A = this chain, B = another copy of it.
């Protein structure tokens, strides 16, 4: 029934809503550092820059606000969110809790193919470490965590973790490099626990992993001098 035209009947014909494109574009600008924390985002400027009207930009900004990427001061507009150390720590705590539960559930659900997928991602990650390829390390890390969460079979968890993880990645910045080797050893432990179908061990592995990551972040921001707002992140190296 869906095919009305004789064409390939794929329902891709719908152009992605402009607000979504705008959202992605602005989010990219924030994550890439093109828009710095605290910067005032003027609707009109963004609209002109993206070649659309203010309306989709407004809706994109509302969305970004709900995800914690921008602060929307009433009557004054949108500003790129400036993360504080406390907030990052709190976020890392939540991430740890959610991912630990994901790992516990994943251990009970993962199929043989799932395990193979995880192992493949681990190999990619290790290769990236040996090649000192930071972007690939970050990508593999994100893939692994996303895969584990997906295997939990809990869609609500997937949503929340995806949201939290992206912001964690933003805050993280350069931590990944320093922790590269250790991190992937921990990942391997986790994957083996999942392969063994042992929820307790899997959860413990994930808890330890996220907790060490959190400690690493705290040390990092501490040595970078007191209240290291995200402005300090960019001065180091790109994400």
> B-contacting residues of A (Cβ < 8 Å)?
14, 17, 19, 58-59, 62-63, 66-67, 74-75, 87, 90-91, 93-94, 97-98, 101, 154-157, 160
Contacts and interface: CB of A to CB of B under 8 A. Distances in A.
A157 to B, nearest CB: 6
B62 A156 contact: no
Given A97-B101, A98-B97, A101-B97, A90 B157 contact: yes
Instruction: Tell me whether chain A's interface is mostly helix, strand or loop, or mixed.
Output: helix
A179 to B, nearest CB: 22
**Which 8 pairs from chain A and chain B are nearest by CB?**
A66-B66, A90-B156, A90-B154, A97-B101, A94-B156, A91-B156, A17-B74, A62-B62
Contacts of A91: 156
B14 A74 contact: yes
Given A62-B62, A63-B62, A160-B94, A75 B14 contact: yes
Contacts of A93: 101, 154, 156-157
A81 to B, nearest CB: 13
B160 A87 contact: no
B59 A94 contact: no
A26 to B, nearest CB: 15
Given A14-B74, A90-B155, 9 more contacts: A62-B62, A63-B66, A87-B155, A87-B156, A91-B156, A93-B101, A94-B101, A94-B160, A97-B98
21 contacts: A14-B74, A19-B62, A58-B59, A62-B62, A66-B67, A87-B155, A90-B154, A90-B155, A91-B156, A93-B154, A93-B156, A94-B98, A94-B101, A94-B154, A94-B156, A94-B157, A97-B97, A97-B98, A97-B101, A98-B98, A160-B160
A97 B87 CA distance: 20
Contacts of A59: 58-59, 62
Contacts of A19: 62
A183 to B, nearest CB: 23
- A75, A91, A98, A156 — most chain B CB neighbours (10 Å): A156
Nearest to A60: B62
Nearest to A156: B90
Nearest to A19: B62
A82 to B, nearest CB: 15
